[in-house]
Amino acid sequence: MKNQIHAMPCQSQDEPKRVLIAEDEEPLAETIFYVVEEAGYTPLVALHGRQALELARTWRPALLITDLMLPYMDGAALIAALHADALVTGEAPPATILMTAASRAEARAAGADVMLCKPFHLVDLEALLRRFLGPPASISRL
């Protein structure tokens, strides 16, 4: 399946916050997608690193949840590319959660904001969503 995403303007405060999920294991990607959606945010899945980079550049997510080990471009290279883009555009890169079974030192070296050790509990992912994104748009307007 090929996602067709066109350049979009910056996200308004009333829109659900966007979360890009870069994960090549489809069952895990689907689970994360469901958790993000149920939490009130707008998820999109990329199944490899290059696709994630293209989507991040056009879709402009508030948060990137990425695996370290991805086909075509690993999570560390993806994060580095988004940080390089931010230097050119002057826009902040998305906050980043790096999912990995690797050491914390490897996660820090990748430039992620936080590491989520695999396997992880879904409640830990939910807590990180709230930490980085705050309440969903529909809740924050009450």
Q: What confidence tens digit (pLDDT) does each residue in 44-82 have?
A: 999 999 999 999 999 999 999 999 999 999 999 999 999
Crossing angle of the two packed helices 75-89 and 49-59, in degrees rounded to 10 = 30
Domains within the chain, CATH numbers bracketed: 18-131 (3.40.50.2300)
Give the pLDDT mean for 90-101.
93
pTM of the model: 0.86
In this prediction, residue 138 carries a pLDDT of: 60
* C-alpha distances in Å from residue 57, one per residue of 26, 30, 39: 22, 22, 24
Question: Predicted confidence band at 14 (pLDDT cuts at 50, 70, 90)?
Answer: low
Q: List the alpha helices (DSSP H) in 18-136.
A: 26-38, 49-59, 75-89, 104-110, 122-133
In this prediction, residue 83 carries a pLDDT of: 96
For residue 101, give both structure tokens: 């079974």
Handedness of CA 106, 113, 135, 21 (dihedral sign): negative
For residue 22, give both structure tokens: 């870069």
